Amino acid sequence: MSDCVVLCVRRASGIDALIAISVIFALSQIPASFVVFLVEERQSGSRHLQFVSGVKPVIFWLVNYCWDMVRAIETYRYHFQF
C-alpha cells in the first residue's frame, strides 16, 4: 500500500514540475514579445520621425499605450487559453 502512495506522489511531483517549467516558459515569452517592438522602433527611428513631422508627444504616447494594451491582451489570451 505504501509503495502505491510513494509512486503516486512521485508521479504527481513530476507533473507539477512539468507544469511549473511550462508556466515559466510561457511567462518569459510575454515580456519578450514587447521588447521586439522597442528594438524595431529604436532601429527605424520612427519616434523621431513622428516628432519631426509634428505629432504631439501626448498623442504619440497615448497611441503607443493603446497599442501596447492591445498587444498585451492578445498575448495573454494566447498564453492563457483555458
Across the chain, mean pLDDT equals 75
Say what the pTM is: 0.48
What are the sequence ranges of the domains in the chain? Answer: 2-79
Do the Cβ atoms of 60 and 47 come closer than 8 Å?
yes
Please give the DSSP secondary-structure letter assigned to residue 54: T
Do the Cβ atoms of 34 and 68 come closer than 8 Å?
yes
User: Any long-range contacts for 12-20 (C-beta under 8 Å, 24+ apart)?
Assistant: none
Give pLDDT, residue 4.
55
Give pLDDT, residue 8.
54
Give pLDDT, residue 9.
53
Q: Which residues of the chain have pLDDT under 70?
A: 1-12, 79, 82
**Helix axis angle, 57-79 to 2-44, nearest 10°:** 150
| CA–CA–CA angle 72, 63, 32 (5° rounding) | 30
